[in-house]
Amino acid sequence: MQQVVILGAGTGGSIMANRLRKQATRGELSLTVIDPAAQHIYQPGLLFLPFGQTTEKKILRPNRHFIDRGVSLVQQPVKSLDAAARAVTLGDGSVINYDVLIIATGTKIAPEETEGLTGDGWYTNRFDFYTLEGARALRPALEKFTGGHLVINIVDMPIKCPVAPLEFAFLADAFFHKRGIRDKVRISYVTPLDAAFTKPVAAKVFGDFLSKKGIELVSEFNTGRVEGNQLISWDERTVDFDLLVTIPLHSGADFLKGSEIADDLGFVRVNKGSLQNEKYPEIFALGDAANVPTAKAGAVVHFESELLSENILRFLRKEPLLADFDGHANCFIETGHGKATLIDFSYNTEPLPGKFPYAGIGPLQLLKETRINHWGKLAFRFIYWYILLPARWLPIGRHFTMKGKYRPS
């Protein structure tokens, strides 16, 4: 029996384990998933936690619940990978050998990479919301905030869920409105990009949302260091804050840093169509851990997993691999006051307006703020737990399509 080892029990690792378990013939392969954590975090929930719009109970579940019983789950961190020997060494010193390795270790924030960021004030008036600890600590800080300058700052790209910082800004605007102190809170969105978003059509739409909500946009700000209550850019511009919500530099897992299979930030080098490492053909990666040029987001993992499970089986059966992953991604974007918008895009096509998933019908609308989109986002948590992770069928194809979309003139 061939040994398939999956590093990571997050979205990508869980879906891959379940998919391969369903698709492989009996006795064809043995599956092992390795992850240091006991709990699975529904990561989109981290956005809502600081605003009291969800609870930890709703967004945490044991990893074991979502991974098929026929898969062994090992709760250990990965210490090192020896790609030449096809061996993974775990935190407890044990060694696991593989015939195929799937890396799904995601990305983590590295606030310590920015000078001064984790110094005085860290988790007092400077927070992240990309970790459970950060989102949890931010909640009372937001509740106690009575006025002043709230700064949302993206340190560097790439980041996980590139729309989450915008959503945070929109939700903060709504939150302070609801508390009746919006006029006492100045909100700024400070980004290294030259606009509110990377791609022009969506950047225009989101830029308009920001200005409509009275959120100031500070662009091309490359954060160099933090001193006291001040962000200082590499070209010596400054932004003062009373409350800082930072989206720190992102990196891959520690065991990948400096590895020959990973890039400078620790993301695994894979072919963007087949998700296979070119130097070690038995190594594959998906999701945030892979260095493919699309968004780091759960939807991408889902679309990638359909191709990757097929490719793993083809690889084990010595058949030619598929190489047609197109970078398909989509995400809901909360805009506050019970509304949301939606984007759907790929390696080659930026987010465009239109209807989704059914052309002309929707019911969801791309790049428009609607209530239905917001309900879609809320419903997605159930879809995630009960359809996406168990790898059940969803009516959205892995290939990007222009159907229902149009390019504004």
> Quick one: 36 or 158, whose CB is closer to other proteins?
158
Distance CA 49, CA 82 (A): 39
Find out whether 149 and 188 touch, Cβ atoms under 8 Å. Answer: yes
When the beta carbons of 56 and 264 are compared against other proteins, the nearer one is: 264
Measured from the CB atom, is 11 or 54 closer to other proteins? 11
CB of 291 or CB of 373, closer to other proteins: 291
Residue with Cβ nearer other proteins (32 or 349): 349
Helices 200-212, 164-178: inter-axial angle, 10-degree rounding: 10
* Beta carbons of 70 and 30 less than 8 angstroms apart: no
- Measured from the CB of residue 293, what is the shortest distance to other proteins in angstroms? 5
Give the interface with other proteins as residue ranges (CB under 8 A): 113, 156-158, 162, 192-194, 198, 220, 222, 224, 233-235, 249, 263-265, 269, 291-296
Give min distance, CB of 10 to other proteins, in A. 19
Kindly state the smallest distance separating residue 164's Cβ from other proteins, in Å: 14
Q: How far is the CB of 323 from other proteins (least distance, A)?
A: 16
Smallest gap from Cβ 342 to other proteins, in A, equals 17
Q: Which residues contact 131 (CB under 8 A, 6 or more apart)?
A: 46, 109
- Phi then psi for residue 199, to 5 deg, are -100, 140
* Cα 19 from chain centroid (whole Å): 21
Specify whether the CB–CB gap between 253 and 239 falls below 8 A.
no
Whether the CB-CB separation of 228 and 201 falls below 8 Å is answered with no
Phi, psi of 307 (to 5 degrees): -75, -40
Give the strand pairing for 223-227 and 230-233.
Answer: antiparallel
Q: Is 67 exposed, middle or buried (0-12, 13-18, 19+ CB in 10 A)?
A: buried
Cβ 127 vs Cβ 121: under 8 Å: no
Q: How far is the CB of 99 from other proteins (least distance, A)?
A: 25
Looking at the Cβ atoms of 192 and 273, the one nearer to other proteins is 192
> Whole-angstrom Cα distance, residue 74 to residue 78?
10
CB of 198 to other proteins, least distance (A): 6
Q: Which residue lies nearer to other proteins by CB, 185 or 249?
A: 249
Q: Which amino acid is at 61?
A: R
